[in-house]
Amino acid sequence: MTVNQNADPGATRSTGAGDIQAYRAQLLYFRDTPKAEDEACEWIRDGLLVVRDGVIEQCGEHDRLIGDLPPGTSVHDWRNHLITPGFIDTHIHYPQTDMIASPAPGLLPWLETYTFPTERRFENPEYAQDVAKFFLDELLRCGTTTALVYCTVHPGSAQAFFAESHARNLRMVAGKVMMDRNCPEYLRDTAESGARDSEDLLRRWHGTGRQMYALTPRFAPTSTPEQLGRCSELAQRYPDVFIQSHVAENRDEVKWVMDLFPGYRSYLDIYDRYGLLRPRAVYGHCVWLDDDDWRRLRDSGAVAAHCPTSNQFLGSGLFDHATARNFGTPVTLATDVGGGSSFSMLQTMNEAHKIARLSGHHLTARRMFWQATQGAAKHLGLTGRIGTLEAGAEADFIVLDPKATPLLARRSAYAESLEELLFALAMLGDDRAIAATYAAGREVHRRARTAAHP
Ligand code: GUN
Ligand code: ZN
């Protein structure tokens, strides 16, 4: 990558009219239209992205826009690369960073053996801060600029996460886990303290800079009816905060839940009856839903977060793309680290595609890129702010390198269409394919130089 200086040297032009930077590359994004993502896809082969003060000011053909740049504007030359909006991971656990890839025979033993003891370490705010830093570095290395993040039950874990994200000016959504039963004593809050701490945190962080809060009852089995009731009150009082939880991930879990909550039609029905299905509510997994659940999820405005690497790693089951699509229920993509085995949304697409294939469904690369950018923004109520390169959006974008590895270089050289190029990136790419990541117009990750990438 080289930087052309139109006139004066220096990476940044500051004239009092704001900091302006321009990026020349292939540009790919999806417009906000009700059309299918294929039709909403904008692909500009020789494009220019103009960013002023952390906001996208223009996005279009290089030859049309270059003449209008103020003299001296830095033009970052990313030709032969593809700029897309940063990825949005809609379900991930930052406290599970240090226990990713822990083997267990399924979800419930995995929680007992690895997850809960690891989450205990977040009693210590210094440890929380250390993990938050590493976790955010790792997201950015993988091109993820926004995530819906579970913290632990300790309010300090959320405080540490938000403080680090705010210092980097990242747009993140996070929340303290609420959990007052069916877990070790050392990880329990109470209905009262969970609600109080959550409210304190959301008042402190929701809307502070780019931070947003998510009420986070871990999953129905670890909350008493009283705690779900307190969570429901908060959800009503703060209608624009997010809600995140797990639902219908694993057969043993579903059976356990139905024993714990007799009289409910289904697992999802529990959240519904507590008023926790609504826009900006995001439910991880959704593997074992029935038709009524899919319909109800759609009608409520809530979102299903598909976690393919986790569902395979823990043997939870195969997400039913075809049914979700038939009902028109919003679906986003998520890593679910540390149940998920990769921070990379490209690898997440790879696995999502294979799971769809197993049920005879074809997920196009365009659709997966849409789900990981504009589609997620839309379903999270963040249209026009993130997930797009359209003017006015926050300048969270990534630079993808179709030649990141020798194999990717060979395959992408033979790509005969945009779909083939995106498909190769999704199947063969990972953190190595992210040449750089920008958040609010600032470079927050640059791939290390190697012999292959001098
Ligand atoms: N269900 C409840 N907690 C968790 C968790 O931490 N990870 C996963 N994958 N499922 C859960
Ligand atoms: Zn999860």
Quick one: which atom of ligand 1 is closest to the CA of 115?
6
In this structure, the answer to whether residues 414 and 273 fall within a common structural domain is no
Residues of the domain holding 279? 87-379
In a domain, 331, yes or no: yes
CA of 250 to the centre of ligand 1 (A): 10
Query: Quick one: which atom of ligand 1 is closest to the CA of 316?
Result: 9
Residue 453 falls inside a structural domain: no
Please report, for residues 36, 50, 131, 262, the alpha-carbon distance to residue 68 in angstroms, rounded to integers and kept in the order given. Answer: 33, 10, 44, 66
Test site for ligand 1: of 89, 113, 115, most ligand atoms within 8 A of the Cβ: 115
For 176, half-sphere exposure in the C-beta direction (CA atoms, 13 angstrom radius) is 32
Mean pLDDT along residues 108-135: 98
Kindly state whether residues 353 and 440 are assigned to the same domain: no
Number of domains in the chain: 2
**What are the residue ranges of helices labelled H in 274-389?**
291-300, 308-313, 321-327, 345-358, 365-371, 374-379
Query: Residues near 309 by Cβ (< 8 Å), separated by ≥ 6?
Result: 335, 336, 340, 341, 342, 347, 348, 351
Domain assignment present for 384:
no
pLDDT digits (tens, 9 = 90+) for 57-67: 999 999 999 99
Ligand nearest to the CA of 107: 1
Q: Which of 100, 111, 252 to mutate to test the pocket of ligand 1 (most atoms within 8 A of CB)?
A: 111
Pair 425, 300 in one domain: no
Nearest CA to ligand 1 atom 11: 246
The protein residue with its alpha carbon nearest to ligand 1, atom 3, reads: 218
Q: Does 328 score more than 60 pLDDT? A: yes
Distance CA 227, CA 424 (A): 46
For residue 202, the model assigns a pLDDT of: 98
pLDDT average, residue stretch 74-78: 97
| 225 part of a folded domain | yes
In a domain, 454, yes or no: no
Mean pLDDT of 339-352: 98
Angle at 246 between CA 288 and CA 185, to 5 degrees: 125
CA of 385 to the centre of ligand 2 (A): 25
What's the CA-to-centroid distance between 407 and ligand 2, angstroms?
Answer: 32
| Any atom of ligand 1 within 6 Å of the Cβ of 107 | yes
Alpha helix (H) residue ranges in 248-290:
251-260, 267-273
User: In this structure, are 170 and 211 located in the same domain?
Assistant: yes
Domain final position from 325, 354, 379 = 379
Q: Is 217 in the pocket of ligand 1 (CB under 6 A)?
A: no
The protein residue with its alpha carbon nearest to ligand 1, atom 7, reads: 339
Instruction: Tell me if 399 sits within 8 A of 25, measured CB to CB.
Output: yes
341: pLDDT confidence band, cut at 50, 70 and 90? very high
Higher pLDDT, 42 or 39: 42
Q: Report yes or no: 357 and 332 within 8 Å, Cβ to Cβ.
A: no
Q: CATH code at 244?
A: 3.20.20.140
Domain boundary among 379, 414, 436: 379
Atom of ligand 1 nearest to the CA of 222: 2
pLDDT exceeds cutoff 90 at 37: no
- What's residue 10's pLDDT? 33
Quickly state the pLDDT bin for 39 (edges 50, 70, 90). confident
Say how many Å lie between the CA of residue 136 and the centre of ligand 1. Answer: 20
Is the CB of residue 119 below 6 angstroms from any atom belonging to ligand 1?
A: no
The ligand with the least distance to the CA atom of 253 is 1
On whether both 181 and 43 belong to a single domain, the answer is no
Q: Which residue has the tokens 């001296």?
A: 72
Distance 90 CA to ligand 2 centre (A): 10
Q: What percent of the chain has pLDDT over 70?
A: 96
Of the listed ligands, the closest to the CA of 309 is: 1
246 lines ligand 1 (CB under 6 A): yes
**Which whole-number Å values give the CA distances from 347 to 12, 371, 399, in the listed order?**
34, 14, 16
Tell me how far apart the terminal alpha carbons of the chain are, to the nearest angstrom. Answer: 10
Q: How confident is the model at residue 18 (pLDDT cuts 50, 70, 90)?
A: confident
**DSSP H or E run through 265:** none
Instruction: Pick from 107, 114, 288 the residue to mutate for probing ligand 1's pocket: most ligand atoms within 8 Å of its CB.
Output: 107
| Nearest atom within ligand 1 for CA of residue 338 | 7
> Would the CB of 267 count as within 6 Å of ligand 1?
no
Same domain as 177, residue 68: no
Nearest CA to ligand 1 atom 8: 339
Whether residue 393 is found in the same domain as residue 340: no
263 & 298 share domain = yes
Q: Is residue 5 in a domain?
A: no
- Residue 11 clears pLDDT 60, i.e. is over it: no
pLDDT at 452 exceeding the cut of 90? no
Is there an atom of ligand 1 within 6 Å of 115 CB?
Answer: yes
Contacts of residue 181, Cβ cutoff 8 Å, sequence gap at least 6: 188, 221, 222, 223, 224, 227
Ligand 2 centroid, distance to 96 Cα (angstroms): 10
User: Which pLDDT belongs to residue 3?
Assistant: 57
- Listing DSSP states for 68-115 in one string gives GSPTT-EEEEEEEEEEEEPEEEEEEEGGGGGGTT---SSHHHHIIIII
What long-range pairs does 258-265 form, CB within 8 A, spacing at least 24? 260/182, 260/220, 260/221, 261/220, 265/292
The CA distance from 394 to 385, in Å, is: 6
Residue showing tokens 């209905």: 191
What residues have their beta carbon closer than 5 A to ion ligand 2?
A: 284, 336
| The pLDDT of residue 2 | 53
Shared domain for 140 and 193, answered yes or no, is: yes
Query: Do 395 and 280 fall within a single domain?
Result: no
Is residue 375 included in any domain, yes or no? Answer: yes
> Does any ligand 1 atom lie closer than 6 A to the CB of residue 339?
yes
Percent of the chain with pLDDT over 90: 93
Instruction: Determine the average pLDDT of the residues in 31-51.
Output: 90
Separation of CA 246 and ligand 1 centre (Å)? 7
Q: What's the pLDDT tens digit per position in 254-265?
A: 999 999 999 999
* Boundary-marking domain end, from 348, 379, 410: 379
Judgement on whether residues 94 and 76 belong to the same structural domain of the protein? no
- Closest by CA to 91, choosing from 271, 210, 245, is 245
Calculate mean pLDDT across residues 350-367. Answer: 96
Same domain? For 359 and 419 the reply is no
- Report which ligand 1 atom has the smallest distance to the Cα of 249: 10
pLDDT, tens digit, for every residue of 198-246? 999 999 999 999 999 999 999 999 999 999 999 999 999 999 999 999 9
Is 6 domain-assigned? no
The CATH number assigned to the domain holding 28 equals 2.30.40.10
